[in-house]
Structure 1
Amino acid sequence: MPSDRIVALGVVATLVVFGAAVATLDVRADPAPQARPGSVAPATTASRPARQVLLSAAQHLDDAGSARLHADREGPAGRGGADGTVSWGAADTADLRLTDPRGAGRLLMVDSVCYLSRDPAADPAAGGAWARADRAEVESLEPGGAGAGGYAGGWLTALVSNPGGRLRLVALAGRVTEDGPVTEGAAVATHYRGSAPVEALFGADQNLDPERLAVVLAHYRAQGVEALDYDVWIGEGDRLLRLRESASGRAGTETTTVEVSDPGVAFEVRAPGPAGAPGGVRAG
Protein backbone atom coordinates (compact mmCIF):
# COMPACT_ATOMS: atom_id res chain seq x y z
CA MET A 1 0.00 0.00 0.00
CA PRO A 2 1.54 3.40 -1.00
CA SER A 3 2.70 5.66 1.76
CA ASP A 4 1.02 8.98 2.56
CA ARG A 5 4.06 10.81 1.15
CA ILE A 6 3.74 9.11 -2.24
CA VAL A 7 -0.03 9.89 -2.42
CA ALA A 8 0.57 13.55 -1.57
CA LEU A 9 3.26 13.89 -4.26
CA GLY A 10 0.87 12.36 -6.81
CA VAL A 11 -1.87 14.85 -5.96
CA VAL A 12 0.52 17.79 -6.28
CA ALA A 13 1.75 16.56 -9.68
CA THR A 14 -1.82 16.21 -10.94
CA LEU A 15 -2.72 19.75 -9.84
CA VAL A 16 0.37 21.19 -11.54
CA VAL A 17 -0.47 19.50 -14.84
CA PHE A 18 -4.15 20.61 -14.63
CA GLY A 19 -3.12 24.20 -13.81
CA ALA A 20 -0.76 24.31 -16.79
CA ALA A 21 -3.55 23.12 -19.09
CA VAL A 22 -5.91 25.81 -17.82
CA ALA A 23 -3.24 28.49 -18.29
CA THR A 24 -2.94 27.59 -21.99
CA LEU A 25 -6.65 28.10 -22.70
CA ASP A 26 -7.52 31.14 -24.93
CA VAL A 27 -10.32 32.67 -22.92
CA ARG A 28 -10.88 35.26 -25.67
CA ALA A 29 -12.39 32.52 -27.82
CA ASP A 30 -15.08 31.73 -25.27
CA PRO A 31 -18.62 32.46 -26.51
CA ALA A 32 -20.41 35.53 -25.10
CA PRO A 33 -22.65 34.89 -22.10
CA GLN A 34 -26.13 33.85 -23.19
CA ALA A 35 -29.17 35.91 -22.19
CA ARG A 36 -31.59 34.34 -19.80
CA PRO A 37 -34.58 32.62 -21.43
CA GLY A 38 -37.25 35.22 -22.19
CA SER A 39 -34.92 38.23 -21.81
CA VAL A 40 -34.22 40.75 -24.56
CA ALA A 41 -30.81 42.27 -25.03
CA PRO A 42 -30.85 46.08 -25.15
CA ALA A 43 -30.75 47.43 -28.72
CA THR A 44 -29.11 50.70 -29.64
CA THR A 45 -30.63 52.98 -32.24
CA ALA A 46 -27.89 52.14 -34.71
CA SER A 47 -28.45 48.38 -34.33
CA ARG A 48 -32.05 48.49 -35.59
CA PRO A 49 -33.60 49.26 -38.98
CA ALA A 50 -34.40 52.94 -39.48
CA ARG A 51 -38.07 52.18 -40.12
CA GLN A 52 -38.35 50.38 -36.78
CA VAL A 53 -36.79 53.30 -34.90
CA LEU A 54 -39.16 55.83 -36.45
CA LEU A 55 -42.22 53.69 -35.73
CA SER A 56 -41.08 53.28 -32.13
CA ALA A 57 -40.62 57.05 -31.77
CA ALA A 58 -44.11 57.64 -33.16
CA GLN A 59 -45.56 55.18 -30.68
CA HIS A 60 -43.79 56.92 -27.80
CA LEU A 61 -45.46 60.19 -28.77
CA ASP A 62 -48.83 58.44 -29.04
CA ASP A 63 -48.35 57.14 -25.52
CA ALA A 64 -47.13 60.50 -24.17
CA GLY A 65 -50.32 62.22 -25.34
CA SER A 66 -48.85 65.75 -25.40
CA ALA A 67 -45.67 67.77 -25.92
CA ARG A 68 -44.24 71.24 -26.31
CA LEU A 69 -43.64 72.26 -29.90
CA HIS A 70 -41.51 74.89 -31.57
CA ALA A 71 -42.19 75.17 -35.29
CA ASP A 72 -40.55 77.19 -38.05
CA ARG A 73 -41.66 77.54 -41.65
CA GLU A 74 -39.75 79.14 -44.49
CA GLY A 75 -40.69 79.28 -48.14
CA PRO A 76 -41.93 81.39 -51.05
CA ALA A 77 -44.72 82.87 -48.88
CA GLY A 78 -42.24 84.07 -46.24
CA ARG A 79 -41.27 82.92 -42.78
CA GLY A 80 -43.44 81.89 -39.86
CA GLY A 81 -43.16 80.31 -36.45
CA ALA A 82 -45.14 78.91 -33.55
CA ASP A 83 -44.50 77.97 -29.92
CA GLY A 84 -46.75 76.20 -27.46
CA THR A 85 -48.29 72.96 -26.31
CA VAL A 86 -50.44 70.37 -28.05
CA SER A 87 -52.21 67.27 -26.77
CA TRP A 88 -53.83 64.44 -28.70
CA GLY A 89 -55.63 61.19 -28.08
CA ALA A 90 -58.13 61.46 -25.24
CA ALA A 91 -58.10 65.28 -25.43
CA ASP A 92 -57.27 67.18 -28.61
CA THR A 93 -56.19 70.59 -27.33
CA ALA A 94 -53.61 73.20 -28.27
CA ASP A 95 -52.33 76.58 -27.16
CA LEU A 96 -49.88 78.13 -29.62
CA ARG A 97 -48.52 81.62 -30.23
CA LEU A 98 -47.87 82.45 -33.88
CA THR A 99 -45.49 84.79 -35.65
CA ASP A 100 -45.56 85.18 -39.43
CA PRO A 101 -45.76 87.87 -42.13
CA ARG A 102 -49.31 88.68 -40.98
CA GLY A 103 -48.10 89.47 -37.48
CA ALA A 104 -48.56 87.93 -34.06
CA GLY A 105 -51.48 85.66 -33.29
CA ARG A 106 -52.73 82.88 -31.09
CA LEU A 107 -54.15 79.50 -32.08
CA LEU A 108 -56.23 77.49 -29.61
CA MET A 109 -57.87 74.10 -29.94
CA VAL A 110 -60.48 72.80 -27.48
CA ASP A 111 -62.26 69.48 -28.09
CA SER A 112 -61.11 69.49 -31.74
CA VAL A 113 -62.49 72.99 -32.37
CA CYS A 114 -59.87 75.56 -33.40
CA TYR A 115 -59.83 79.29 -32.64
CA LEU A 116 -57.50 81.83 -34.21
CA SER A 117 -57.01 85.43 -33.11
CA ARG A 118 -54.67 88.00 -34.63
CA ASP A 119 -53.18 91.05 -32.95
CA PRO A 120 -55.49 93.98 -33.85
CA ALA A 121 -52.48 95.78 -35.31
CA ALA A 122 -52.03 92.89 -37.73
CA ASP A 123 -55.74 92.41 -38.50
CA PRO A 124 -57.69 95.63 -37.72
CA ALA A 125 -60.86 94.32 -39.37
CA ALA A 126 -61.10 91.43 -36.94
CA GLY A 127 -60.52 93.67 -33.95
CA GLY A 128 -58.95 90.85 -31.95
CA ALA A 129 -61.97 88.57 -32.30
CA TRP A 130 -61.54 84.82 -32.46
CA ALA A 131 -62.30 83.03 -35.73
CA ARG A 132 -63.66 79.52 -35.20
CA ALA A 133 -63.50 76.36 -37.32
CA ASP A 134 -63.56 72.62 -36.83
CA ARG A 135 -60.16 71.01 -36.83
CA ALA A 136 -60.69 69.44 -40.26
CA GLU A 137 -61.23 72.94 -41.69
CA VAL A 138 -58.59 74.77 -39.67
CA GLU A 139 -56.94 76.13 -42.84
CA SER A 140 -60.08 78.21 -43.46
CA LEU A 141 -59.08 80.44 -40.53
CA GLU A 142 -56.46 82.14 -42.68
CA PRO A 143 -57.24 84.45 -45.63
CA GLY A 144 -57.33 82.41 -48.79
CA GLY A 145 -57.60 79.20 -46.78
CA ALA A 146 -59.86 76.36 -47.83
CA GLY A 147 -63.52 76.42 -46.90
CA ALA A 148 -65.72 73.45 -46.15
CA GLY A 149 -64.54 70.42 -48.07
CA GLY A 150 -61.35 72.20 -49.08
CA TYR A 151 -57.73 71.37 -48.49
CA ALA A 152 -56.79 70.61 -44.90
CA GLY A 153 -53.17 69.65 -44.52
CA GLY A 154 -51.11 72.80 -44.41
CA TRP A 155 -49.33 74.89 -41.79
CA LEU A 156 -52.18 75.21 -39.27
CA THR A 157 -53.13 71.55 -39.63
CA ALA A 158 -49.58 70.52 -38.78
CA LEU A 159 -49.53 72.77 -35.71
CA VAL A 160 -52.58 71.15 -34.08
CA SER A 161 -51.51 67.58 -34.87
CA ASN A 162 -49.42 64.95 -33.16
CA PRO A 163 -46.05 65.08 -34.96
CA GLY A 164 -45.81 61.35 -34.44
CA GLY A 165 -48.55 60.91 -37.02
CA ARG A 166 -46.42 62.28 -39.84
CA LEU A 167 -43.41 60.38 -38.52
CA ARG A 168 -45.38 57.15 -38.79
CA LEU A 169 -46.40 57.90 -42.38
CA VAL A 170 -42.77 58.55 -43.31
CA ALA A 171 -41.77 55.20 -41.81
CA LEU A 172 -44.56 53.31 -43.57
CA ALA A 173 -44.52 54.94 -46.99
CA GLY A 174 -41.06 56.46 -47.34
CA ARG A 175 -37.56 55.32 -48.01
CA VAL A 176 -35.61 56.00 -44.82
CA THR A 177 -31.88 55.72 -44.22
CA GLU A 178 -29.66 56.40 -41.21
CA ASP A 179 -27.29 59.33 -41.64
CA GLY A 180 -25.38 58.88 -38.39
CA PRO A 181 -24.98 60.24 -34.84
CA VAL A 182 -25.09 63.97 -34.15
CA THR A 183 -25.16 66.21 -31.09
CA GLU A 184 -28.38 68.13 -30.45
CA GLY A 185 -27.64 70.61 -27.68
CA ALA A 186 -26.68 68.46 -24.72
CA ALA A 187 -28.24 65.32 -26.22
CA VAL A 188 -26.81 62.75 -28.59
CA ALA A 189 -29.19 61.90 -31.43
CA THR A 190 -29.27 59.84 -34.59
CA HIS A 191 -30.08 61.63 -37.83
CA TYR A 192 -32.30 59.91 -40.40
CA ARG A 193 -33.20 60.98 -43.93
CA GLY A 194 -36.32 59.98 -45.78
CA SER A 195 -38.37 60.69 -48.87
CA ALA A 196 -41.85 59.63 -49.93
CA PRO A 197 -44.03 60.24 -52.98
CA VAL A 198 -47.00 62.41 -52.05
CA GLU A 199 -49.51 59.79 -53.17
CA ALA A 200 -47.87 57.04 -51.12
CA LEU A 201 -47.44 59.20 -48.03
CA PHE A 202 -51.00 60.48 -47.77
CA GLY A 203 -52.39 57.22 -49.13
CA ALA A 204 -51.05 55.56 -45.98
CA ASP A 205 -53.02 57.99 -43.78
CA GLN A 206 -56.04 56.07 -42.54
CA ASN A 207 -57.57 59.29 -41.21
CA LEU A 208 -58.14 60.57 -44.76
CA ASP A 209 -61.30 59.33 -46.45
CA PRO A 210 -61.19 59.02 -50.26
CA GLU A 211 -62.76 62.45 -50.80
CA ARG A 212 -60.33 64.22 -48.49
CA LEU A 213 -57.37 62.29 -49.89
CA ALA A 214 -58.30 63.41 -53.41
CA VAL A 215 -58.37 67.06 -52.26
CA VAL A 216 -54.97 66.80 -50.55
CA LEU A 217 -53.35 65.17 -53.58
CA ALA A 218 -54.89 67.79 -55.87
CA HIS A 219 -53.34 70.53 -53.72
CA TYR A 220 -49.85 69.10 -54.07
CA ARG A 221 -50.28 68.50 -57.79
CA ALA A 222 -51.31 72.13 -58.22
CA GLN A 223 -48.10 73.17 -56.48
CA GLY A 224 -45.99 70.80 -58.57
CA VAL A 225 -44.88 68.83 -55.51
CA GLU A 226 -44.34 65.15 -56.31
CA ALA A 227 -42.50 64.01 -53.17
CA LEU A 228 -41.77 65.20 -49.65
CA ASP A 229 -38.30 64.96 -48.12
CA TYR A 230 -37.63 64.49 -44.43
CA ASP A 231 -34.86 64.89 -41.89
CA VAL A 232 -35.52 63.26 -38.52
CA TRP A 233 -33.50 63.43 -35.31
CA ILE A 234 -34.17 60.69 -32.75
CA GLY A 235 -32.70 60.85 -29.25
CA GLU A 236 -32.20 58.35 -26.46
CA GLY A 237 -35.18 56.13 -25.77
CA ASP A 238 -36.52 56.61 -29.31
CA ARG A 239 -37.55 60.15 -28.51
CA LEU A 240 -38.34 62.43 -31.43
CA LEU A 241 -36.34 65.63 -31.09
CA ARG A 242 -36.89 67.27 -34.46
CA LEU A 243 -38.76 66.62 -37.70
CA ARG A 244 -38.08 68.64 -40.85
CA GLU A 245 -40.24 68.42 -43.97
CA SER A 246 -39.23 69.91 -47.32
CA ALA A 247 -41.64 70.33 -50.23
CA SER A 248 -40.16 71.46 -53.53
CA GLY A 249 -42.56 72.74 -56.18
CA ARG A 250 -42.80 75.21 -59.03
CA ALA A 251 -42.72 78.24 -56.72
CA GLY A 252 -39.69 77.01 -54.75
CA THR A 253 -39.08 74.95 -51.62
CA GLU A 254 -41.05 75.26 -48.40
CA THR A 255 -39.38 73.83 -45.29
CA THR A 256 -41.21 73.19 -42.03
CA THR A 257 -39.26 72.19 -38.92
CA VAL A 258 -40.91 71.03 -35.69
CA GLU A 259 -38.90 70.60 -32.48
CA VAL A 260 -40.48 68.42 -29.80
CA SER A 261 -39.81 68.61 -26.05
CA ASP A 262 -41.43 67.71 -22.71
CA PRO A 263 -43.51 64.75 -23.93
CA GLY A 264 -46.46 64.19 -21.57
CA VAL A 265 -46.59 67.84 -20.41
CA ALA A 266 -49.82 68.81 -18.63
CA PHE A 267 -51.65 72.03 -19.54
CA GLU A 268 -55.16 73.47 -19.75
CA VAL A 269 -56.91 75.38 -22.53
CA ARG A 270 -60.27 77.13 -22.35
CA ALA A 271 -62.39 78.17 -25.30
CA PRO A 272 -62.63 81.95 -25.90
CA GLY A 273 -65.68 83.93 -24.77
CA PRO A 274 -69.02 83.91 -26.65
CA ALA A 275 -69.63 85.94 -29.78
CA GLY A 276 -70.29 89.61 -29.06
CA ALA A 277 -68.09 89.67 -25.97
CA PRO A 278 -64.66 91.32 -26.02
CA GLY A 279 -62.41 88.87 -27.77
CA GLY A 280 -65.46 86.81 -28.66
CA VAL A 281 -65.80 84.17 -31.33
CA ARG A 282 -66.79 84.68 -34.94
CA ALA A 283 -67.29 82.08 -37.64
CA GLY A 284 -64.23 81.17 -39.68
Structure 2
Amino acid sequence: MRFAFRMLTGVAGVALLAGTAACGSEDGSSESRTTTEERGGGDASAALQAAAESTSEMHSARFEGEMTAPASAGGQTTMEGVMSWDPSLTMQMSVSGEELAATPGAPQEIEVRWLDNVMYMHMGAEFGAEMGGAEWLSMDLAAIAEESGDAAMADAMSMGLESAGQDPAQQVAMLLSAPGIEEVGEETLNGVETRHYAGTMSVEDAVAGDQSGLAEVLTEEEVEQLVATMEQQGIDGYDLDIWIDENDLPVQVRQSYETPEGPVEYEVRYSDFNTEVSVEQPAAELVIDFMELIEELNAELS
Protein backbone atom coordinates (compact mmCIF):
# COMPACT_ATOMS: atom_id res chain seq x y z
CA MET A 1 0.00 0.00 0.00
CA ARG A 2 1.62 3.22 -1.17
CA PHE A 3 -0.68 5.67 0.57
CA ALA A 4 0.60 6.93 3.91
CA PHE A 5 -1.70 6.41 6.89
CA ARG A 6 -0.71 9.86 8.19
CA MET A 7 -1.88 11.43 4.92
CA LEU A 8 -5.29 9.75 5.24
CA THR A 9 -5.79 10.85 8.82
CA GLY A 10 -4.49 14.32 8.00
CA VAL A 11 -7.09 14.84 5.29
CA ALA A 12 -9.75 13.53 7.67
CA GLY A 13 -8.63 15.99 10.33
CA VAL A 14 -8.80 18.93 7.91
CA ALA A 15 -12.30 17.90 6.87
CA LEU A 16 -13.36 17.77 10.52
CA LEU A 17 -11.82 21.15 11.14
CA ALA A 18 -13.86 22.64 8.31
CA GLY A 19 -16.98 20.74 9.17
CA THR A 20 -17.61 20.80 12.88
CA ALA A 21 -20.54 23.10 12.12
CA ALA A 22 -22.76 20.14 13.04
CA CYS A 23 -22.62 21.17 16.68
CA GLY A 24 -23.57 24.80 16.05
CA SER A 25 -26.02 26.60 18.27
CA GLU A 26 -29.38 27.81 17.00
CA ASP A 27 -30.31 30.32 19.69
CA GLY A 28 -30.11 33.48 17.56
CA SER A 29 -33.15 35.71 17.27
CA SER A 30 -33.58 38.18 14.41
CA GLU A 31 -36.16 40.11 16.42
CA SER A 32 -33.64 41.04 19.12
CA ARG A 33 -30.72 41.66 16.79
CA THR A 34 -29.07 45.05 16.32
CA THR A 35 -26.75 45.43 13.36
CA THR A 36 -23.22 46.79 13.52
CA GLU A 37 -24.28 49.74 11.39
CA GLU A 38 -27.11 50.64 13.81
CA ARG A 39 -24.71 50.47 16.77
CA GLY A 40 -22.04 52.51 15.06
CA GLY A 41 -19.46 49.82 15.91
CA GLY A 42 -18.52 51.32 19.26
CA ASP A 43 -18.91 48.29 21.51
CA ALA A 44 -16.78 45.27 20.59
CA SER A 45 -18.65 42.80 22.80
CA ALA A 46 -22.06 43.98 21.60
CA ALA A 47 -20.88 43.81 17.99
CA LEU A 48 -19.67 40.24 18.39
CA GLN A 49 -22.80 39.18 20.26
CA ALA A 50 -24.92 40.43 17.36
CA ALA A 51 -22.61 38.65 14.92
CA ALA A 52 -22.93 35.37 16.84
CA GLU A 53 -26.71 35.66 16.82
CA SER A 54 -26.82 36.58 13.12
CA THR A 55 -24.57 33.70 12.15
CA SER A 56 -26.53 31.19 14.24
CA GLU A 57 -29.52 31.96 12.02
CA MET A 58 -27.59 30.84 8.94
CA HIS A 59 -27.66 27.18 7.90
CA SER A 60 -25.01 26.98 5.17
CA ALA A 61 -22.11 28.82 3.52
CA ARG A 62 -19.31 28.58 1.02
CA PHE A 63 -15.82 28.57 2.50
CA GLU A 64 -12.15 28.51 1.62
CA GLY A 65 -9.25 28.32 3.98
CA GLU A 66 -5.72 27.33 4.86
CA MET A 67 -4.19 25.50 7.78
CA THR A 68 -0.52 25.81 8.64
CA ALA A 69 0.77 23.16 11.02
CA PRO A 70 4.04 21.39 11.87
CA ALA A 71 5.20 18.90 9.24
CA SER A 72 4.34 16.06 11.63
CA ALA A 73 0.70 17.27 11.57
CA GLY A 74 0.41 17.70 7.80
CA GLY A 75 2.17 20.99 7.11
CA GLN A 76 0.40 23.48 4.84
CA THR A 77 -3.10 22.51 3.71
CA THR A 78 -5.73 24.38 1.70
CA MET A 79 -9.45 23.68 1.39
CA GLU A 80 -12.45 25.03 -0.52
CA GLY A 81 -16.08 23.98 -0.58
CA VAL A 82 -19.61 24.37 0.65
CA MET A 83 -21.32 23.08 3.79
CA SER A 84 -24.66 23.03 5.55
CA TRP A 85 -24.90 22.49 9.31
CA ASP A 86 -28.66 22.56 9.85
CA PRO A 87 -30.16 20.14 10.73
CA SER A 88 -27.00 18.02 10.34
CA LEU A 89 -23.64 18.41 8.64
CA THR A 90 -23.49 18.04 4.87
CA MET A 91 -20.31 19.11 3.11
CA GLN A 92 -18.39 18.91 -0.14
CA MET A 93 -14.89 20.32 -0.48
CA SER A 94 -11.50 19.90 -2.12
CA VAL A 95 -8.29 19.53 -0.09
CA SER A 96 -4.69 19.94 -1.23
CA GLY A 97 -1.41 20.46 0.53
CA GLU A 98 2.13 19.45 1.37
CA GLU A 99 1.25 16.02 2.77
CA LEU A 100 -0.59 15.04 -0.41
CA ALA A 101 2.17 16.38 -2.63
CA ALA A 102 4.76 14.36 -0.69
CA THR A 103 2.81 11.07 -0.82
CA PRO A 104 3.74 8.86 -3.80
CA GLY A 105 0.71 7.96 -5.92
CA ALA A 106 -1.64 10.34 -4.10
CA PRO A 107 -3.71 12.81 -6.12
CA GLN A 108 -2.72 16.46 -5.91
CA GLU A 109 -6.22 17.26 -4.69
CA ILE A 110 -8.77 15.16 -2.82
CA GLU A 111 -12.52 15.67 -2.98
CA VAL A 112 -14.23 15.19 0.37
CA ARG A 113 -17.96 14.61 0.85
CA TRP A 114 -19.75 14.38 4.20
CA LEU A 115 -23.22 12.83 4.43
CA ASP A 116 -25.12 11.24 7.32
CA ASN A 117 -22.07 11.46 9.63
CA VAL A 118 -19.89 9.55 7.17
CA MET A 119 -16.95 11.13 5.36
CA TYR A 120 -16.02 10.05 1.82
CA MET A 121 -12.63 10.90 0.30
CA HIS A 122 -11.88 10.46 -3.41
CA MET A 123 -8.40 8.98 -3.37
CA GLY A 124 -7.90 8.79 -7.14
CA ALA A 125 -7.25 6.23 -9.86
CA GLU A 126 -4.03 4.73 -8.47
CA PHE A 127 -5.66 4.11 -5.11
CA GLY A 128 -8.64 2.58 -6.94
CA ALA A 129 -6.38 0.28 -8.90
CA GLU A 130 -4.94 -1.10 -5.65
CA MET A 131 -8.43 -1.39 -4.12
CA GLY A 132 -10.16 -3.30 -6.92
CA GLY A 133 -11.76 -0.22 -8.43
CA ALA A 134 -12.81 1.49 -5.18
CA GLU A 135 -11.52 5.04 -5.59
CA TRP A 136 -13.43 6.38 -2.56
CA LEU A 137 -12.50 5.83 1.08
CA SER A 138 -15.29 6.13 3.65
CA MET A 139 -14.83 7.00 7.33
CA ASP A 140 -17.54 6.65 9.95
CA LEU A 141 -15.82 7.95 13.08
CA ALA A 142 -18.45 6.58 15.44
CA ALA A 143 -18.13 3.15 13.86
CA ILE A 144 -14.33 3.36 13.91
CA ALA A 145 -14.33 4.10 17.63
CA GLU A 146 -16.84 1.34 18.35
CA GLU A 147 -15.14 -1.31 16.23
CA SER A 148 -11.64 -0.51 17.43
CA GLY A 149 -12.62 -0.09 21.08
CA ASP A 150 -9.77 2.41 21.18
CA ALA A 151 -10.78 5.93 22.17
CA ALA A 152 -7.25 7.17 21.51
CA MET A 153 -7.53 6.02 17.91
CA ALA A 154 -10.79 7.91 17.46
CA ASP A 155 -9.17 11.03 18.91
CA ALA A 156 -6.23 10.67 16.54
CA MET A 157 -8.55 10.29 13.55
CA SER A 158 -10.34 13.51 14.38
CA MET A 159 -7.19 15.36 15.54
CA GLY A 160 -9.22 16.23 18.64
CA LEU A 161 -11.24 18.76 16.64
CA GLU A 162 -14.77 17.39 16.83
CA SER A 163 -15.61 19.75 19.68
CA ALA A 164 -13.36 22.66 18.85
CA GLY A 165 -16.25 24.97 17.99
CA GLN A 166 -15.37 25.66 14.36
CA ASP A 167 -18.94 26.56 13.39
CA PRO A 168 -18.96 30.28 12.38
CA ALA A 169 -21.33 31.23 15.21
CA GLN A 170 -19.22 29.33 17.71
CA GLN A 171 -16.04 31.00 16.46
CA VAL A 172 -17.58 34.38 17.22
CA ALA A 173 -18.79 33.10 20.59
CA MET A 174 -15.28 31.93 21.47
CA LEU A 175 -13.99 35.44 20.94
CA LEU A 176 -16.77 36.80 23.14
CA SER A 177 -15.23 34.97 26.12
CA ALA A 178 -11.90 36.74 25.70
CA PRO A 179 -11.46 39.27 28.52
CA GLY A 180 -9.22 41.52 26.43
CA ILE A 181 -11.39 41.58 23.31
CA GLU A 182 -10.90 44.70 21.22
CA GLU A 183 -11.72 46.22 17.87
CA VAL A 184 -8.62 46.44 15.68
CA GLY A 185 -10.23 48.69 13.07
CA GLU A 186 -11.98 48.85 9.72
CA GLU A 187 -10.53 46.79 6.87
CA THR A 188 -11.56 45.90 3.32
CA LEU A 189 -11.34 42.19 2.44
CA ASN A 190 -11.98 41.21 -1.18
CA GLY A 191 -13.98 44.37 -1.71
CA VAL A 192 -16.08 43.91 1.46
CA GLU A 193 -16.00 46.53 4.21
CA THR A 194 -15.42 44.82 7.57
CA ARG A 195 -14.60 45.48 11.20
CA HIS A 196 -11.69 43.47 12.60
CA TYR A 197 -11.88 42.16 16.19
CA ALA A 198 -9.16 40.27 18.08
CA GLY A 199 -8.65 38.58 21.41
CA THR A 200 -7.28 35.53 23.19
CA MET A 201 -9.35 32.78 24.77
CA SER A 202 -7.68 30.65 27.42
CA VAL A 203 -8.86 27.39 28.96
CA GLU A 204 -9.82 29.39 32.05
CA ASP A 205 -11.97 31.70 29.90
CA ALA A 206 -13.78 28.70 28.41
CA VAL A 207 -14.34 27.16 31.86
CA ALA A 208 -15.90 30.46 32.93
CA GLY A 209 -18.15 30.45 29.88
CA ASP A 210 -21.25 30.96 31.98
CA GLN A 211 -19.70 34.22 33.17
CA SER A 212 -19.12 35.50 29.64
CA GLY A 213 -20.64 35.88 26.20
CA LEU A 214 -19.65 32.30 25.36
CA ALA A 215 -22.69 30.96 27.23
CA GLU A 216 -24.98 33.15 25.15
CA VAL A 217 -24.30 31.04 22.04
CA LEU A 218 -22.81 27.72 23.22
CA THR A 219 -24.63 25.23 25.41
CA GLU A 220 -23.08 24.07 28.69
CA GLU A 221 -22.22 20.75 27.04
CA GLU A 222 -20.49 22.50 24.11
CA VAL A 223 -18.41 24.61 26.50
CA GLU A 224 -17.38 21.44 28.38
CA GLN A 225 -16.44 19.77 25.08
CA LEU A 226 -14.41 22.80 24.05
CA VAL A 227 -12.49 22.76 27.33
CA ALA A 228 -11.88 19.00 27.05
CA THR A 229 -10.59 19.39 23.49
CA MET A 230 -8.19 22.16 24.43
CA GLU A 231 -6.84 20.11 27.33
CA GLN A 232 -6.53 16.97 25.16
CA GLN A 233 -4.49 18.83 22.57
CA GLY A 234 -2.31 20.52 25.16
CA ILE A 235 -3.61 23.94 24.10
CA ASP A 236 -3.45 26.73 26.67
CA GLY A 237 -5.49 29.13 24.58
CA TYR A 238 -6.41 30.47 21.15
CA ASP A 239 -5.48 33.77 19.54
CA LEU A 240 -8.63 34.72 17.62
CA ASP A 241 -9.25 37.27 14.87
CA ILE A 242 -12.64 37.81 13.22
CA TRP A 243 -13.66 40.16 10.42
CA ILE A 244 -17.39 41.01 10.38
CA ASP A 245 -19.35 42.73 7.59
CA GLU A 246 -22.16 45.28 7.87
CA ASN A 247 -24.73 42.46 8.10
CA ASP A 248 -23.06 41.06 11.23
CA LEU A 249 -21.76 38.00 9.39
CA PRO A 250 -18.17 36.73 9.61
CA VAL A 251 -16.19 37.27 6.42
CA GLN A 252 -12.95 35.81 7.74
CA VAL A 253 -11.88 33.97 10.89
CA ARG A 254 -8.32 33.20 12.00
CA GLN A 255 -7.30 30.98 14.90
CA SER A 256 -3.76 30.31 16.05
CA TYR A 257 -2.52 28.24 18.96
CA GLU A 258 0.45 26.32 20.25
CA THR A 259 0.45 22.51 20.47
CA PRO A 260 3.10 20.11 21.79
CA GLU A 261 4.14 19.54 18.16
CA GLY A 262 4.37 23.24 17.32
CA PRO A 263 2.25 26.24 16.26
CA VAL A 264 -0.97 25.83 14.26
CA GLU A 265 -2.85 28.53 12.37
CA TYR A 266 -6.23 28.06 10.71
CA GLU A 267 -7.84 30.76 8.55
CA VAL A 268 -11.19 30.44 6.81
CA ARG A 269 -13.21 32.85 4.67
CA TYR A 270 -17.01 32.56 4.42
CA SER A 271 -19.36 33.76 1.68
CA ASP A 272 -22.78 33.09 0.17
CA PHE A 273 -24.50 32.27 3.46
CA ASN A 274 -27.65 30.13 3.17
CA THR A 275 -26.54 28.84 -0.23
CA GLU A 276 -28.09 25.59 -1.47
CA VAL A 277 -26.01 22.51 -0.63
CA SER A 278 -26.57 19.26 -2.53
CA VAL A 279 -24.10 16.40 -2.08
CA GLU A 280 -24.35 12.94 -3.63
CA GLN A 281 -23.16 9.76 -1.95
CA PRO A 282 -20.61 7.85 -4.07
CA ALA A 283 -21.81 4.57 -5.57
CA ALA A 284 -21.34 1.70 -3.11
CA GLU A 285 -19.16 -0.31 -5.49
CA LEU A 286 -16.68 2.58 -5.66
CA VAL A 287 -16.25 2.84 -1.88
CA ILE A 288 -13.98 0.99 0.54
CA ASP A 289 -14.44 1.45 4.27
CA PHE A 290 -11.52 2.69 6.35
CA MET A 291 -11.67 -0.27 8.73
CA GLU A 292 -11.54 -2.64 5.76
CA LEU A 293 -8.47 -0.76 4.53
CA ILE A 294 -6.83 -1.19 7.94
CA GLU A 295 -7.46 -4.93 7.74
CA GLU A 296 -5.78 -5.04 4.32
CA LEU A 297 -2.81 -3.06 5.60
CA ASN A 298 -2.46 -5.44 8.56
CA ALA A 299 -2.63 -8.41 6.18
CA GLU A 300 0.20 -6.93 4.08
CA LEU A 301 2.35 -6.52 7.17
CA SER A 302 1.71 -9.99 8.57
Give the TM-score, by structure 1 length.
0.68
Residue 172 of structure 1, aligned match among 177, 197, 220: 177
Map of 1:110 onto structure 2: 115
SS in 1 for 2:244: strand
More helix by share: 2
Structure 2 CA distance for aligned equivalents of residues 202 and 258 of structure 1? 25
Map of 1:28 onto structure 2: none
Question: Could you tell me whether the CA contact under 8 Å between 2:207 and 2:223 is conserved in 1?
Answer: no
Matched, 1:148 2:161: no
Structure 1 CA distance for aligned equivalents of residues 115 and 200 of structure 2? 33
Structure 1 CA distance for aligned equivalents of residues 143 and 253 of structure 2? 22
SS in 1 for 2:170: helix
Question: Could you tell me whether the CA contact under 8 Å between 2:122 and 2:137 is conserved in 1?
Answer: yes
CA offsets 1:171-203 (integer angstroms, 9 cap, x no match): 135531101111112121111111011353377
Shift of 1:120: 4.7
- Higher-Rg structure is 1
SS in 2 for 1:53: helix
Q: Give the counterpart letter for 2:139 in structure 1.
A: R
Question: Could you tell me whether the CA contact under 8 Å between 2:161 and 2:229 is conserved in 1?
Answer: no
Map of 2:236 onto structure 1: 226
Q: Give the counterpart letter for 1:240 in structure 2.
A: P
Map of 1:87 onto structure 2: 84
Relative contact order higher in (CA < 8 Å, ≥ 6 apart): 2
Counting aligned pairs with the same residue, the percent is: 20
Structure 1 CA distance for aligned equivalents of residues 55 and 112 of structure 2? 21
Q: How does 1:1-284 map to 2 (within 5 A)?
A: 43-47=38-42, 49-77=43-71, 78-103=75-100, 104-120=109-125, 128-134=135-141, 147-148=153-154, 152=158, 162-173=167-178, 175-201=180-206, 204=209, 206=219, 207-208=221-222, 216-221=229-234, 225-274=235-284, 277-278=285-286, 280-283=287-290
Number of corresponding residues: 230
Quick one: structure 1 residues 250 and 162, their matched pair in 2 at CA, closer, same or farther if it must change by over 3 Å? closer
RMSD between aligned residues:
3.4
SS in 2 for 1:260: strand
Quick one: structure 1 residues 131 and 45, their matched pair in 2 at CA, closer, same or farther if it must change by over 3 Å? farther
CA offsets 1:62-95 (integer angstroms, 9 cap, x no match): 2120000101011212100110001112242111
CA offsets 1:221-243 (integer angstroms, 9 cap, x no match): 2xxx3111011111111121000
Q: Which runs of 5+ in 2 are unaligned?
A: 1-33, 101-108, 146-150, 210-217, 292-302
Moved more, 201-210 or 173-182: 201-210
CA offsets 1:151-176 (integer angstroms, 9 cap, x no match): 74656877x95222222122135531
Shift of 1:270: 2.0
Moved more, 164-173 or 85-94: 164-173
Structure 1 CA distance for aligned equivalents of residues 184 and 281 of structure 2? 43
Q: Which runs of 5+ in 1 are unaligned?
A: 1-39, 139-144
More strand by share: 1
Moved more, 74-83 or 101-110: 101-110
Quick one: structure 1 residues 131 and 98, their matched pair in 2 at CA, closer, same or farther if it must change by over 3 Å? same
